[in-house]
Amino acid sequence: MSSVSVRDIVQAVKGQAQGNENLVIEGAAGLDEATGCDISFFHNMKYVDSLEKTKAGAVLIPEKTVSGELPEGKTWIRVANPQWAFAQVLGLLYKDRQRHPQGIHPKAVIDPSAKIAPGAHIGALAVIEAGVTIETGVMIYPGVYIGARSRIGEGSLIYPHVVLREDTDVGARVIIHSGAVLGADGYGFVAQNGRHQKIPQIGRVVVEEDVEIGANVAIDRATTGETRIGAGTKIDNLVHVAHNVQIGRDCLITGQVGIAGSARIGHRVTMGGQVGLVGHITVGDGAIIAAQSGVMNNVAPGEILFGSPARPHREAMKLQAIFGKLPEMYDALKQLKKKFLS
């Protein structure tokens, strides 16, 4: 782990310091856990009590925070977006923490027809099949499997035990975490004479630039054509994306979401944990689907849904409130029946 001065942090995050710019920061932590050599951040008034009590040596705060609200004896760094600034500081502090593979390990198994650009790094026991293209700056950790005719774009990072099946296309600056499988066969079967016959899955998976894919994610290849993940989309651990799904740009998809085949997801869509989508529906740009919702029908752009089956958020909240009163309502109904029907 590196250390960095407040002055260097201010330059990196384009902030303004109030306090000791020579203070050396050696770590980062939350407001409640931080010590005098740590930096923390404050972005929500819910945590104002923690801000007043924090022992952090320096704190990133919003530009418009009133000075009178700030405890004395701290170094404050005013920035437009404290969360973003904190992420940049973490990068400065922990840049030497991770040791990526360097060069091509002699125990990597690489087909002679694969095209490996200068500056690519491949770890031990990685397997690179025929016709693969790996561009410059790619880092492939040990134990990764890259299937035939696949491509990995410039600067992408592939962690241990990732599987990219044949014909998978990964764009630039993509991060794929351990255990993810891209390009497994889609769940395609047809009934014939009472038996389920497999439909060959001959399509591919395309991942555009700046996507991050979490651990143990499964993205199935298309039956024909392609399953596509749009640029800038971030997919959490344990998500399943079925065959022929199209996901737009800059979406946020959190843990245990399941998206059935041929669903189309627009741009900047947010899905909470354990959301389930049936196949062949469309989710419009900017829609938000709350955790554990079951989506059975098309979703309009910008709509906010909750519940199973998913409903507009306000309607779902009203229904939840009514459900909580059902025992009381039932007791009242029994009293009315007893009074008028007995």
Domain boundaries, the chain: 4-93, 109-313
Query: Mind listing the pLDDT tens digit for each residue in 52-66?
Result: 899 999 999 998 876
For residue 328, name the pLDDT band (cuts at 50, 70, 90). Answer: confident
Helix (H) or strand (E) holding 198: strand 195-198
pLDDT score recorded for residue 66 = 67
| CATH of the structural domain 4-93, one choice from 3.40.1390.10, 3.40.47.10, 3.10.20.600, 3.40.50.9100 | 3.40.1390.10
HSE-up of residue 215 (Cα within 13 Å, Cβ side): 4
* Confidence (pLDDT) at 65: 75
Q: Is the pLDDT of residue 198 over 90?
A: yes
Q: Decide: 149 and 167 in contact? Cβ < 8 Å.
A: yes
Please provide residue 60's backbone torsions phi and psi, each rounded to the nearest 5 degrees. Answer: -80, 125
- Report helix angle 82-93 to 6-13, nearest 10: 130
Mean pLDDT of the chain: 93
At 193, the amino acid letter reads: N
The whole-number pLDDT of residue 1 equals: 64
Q: Say if residue 190 is exposed, middle or buried (CB neighbours under 10 Å; 0-12, 13-18, 19+).
A: exposed
Q: Assess whether pLDDT exceeds 80 at residue 171.
A: yes
pLDDT at residue 56 in the model: 94
pLDDT at 342: 66
The first and second tokens of residue 268, run together, are: 């900047």
Find out whether the peptide bond into 309 is cis, omega within 30 degrees of 0.
yes
Q: What percent of the chain has pLDDT over 90?
A: 78
Q: How far apart are CA 63 and CA 300, in angstroms?
A: 36
Q: Is the pLDDT of residue 311 over 80?
A: no
Cite the active site residues.
243
pLDDT score at 69: 66
pLDDT per position as a tens digit, 205-261: 999 999 999 999 999 999 999 999 999 999 999 999 999 999 999 999 999 999 999
CATH architecture of 109-313: 3 Solenoid (2.160)
Question: Which pLDDT score, from 0 to 100, does residue 329 have?
Answer: 84
Question: Tokens at residue 35, please?
Answer: 């010590």
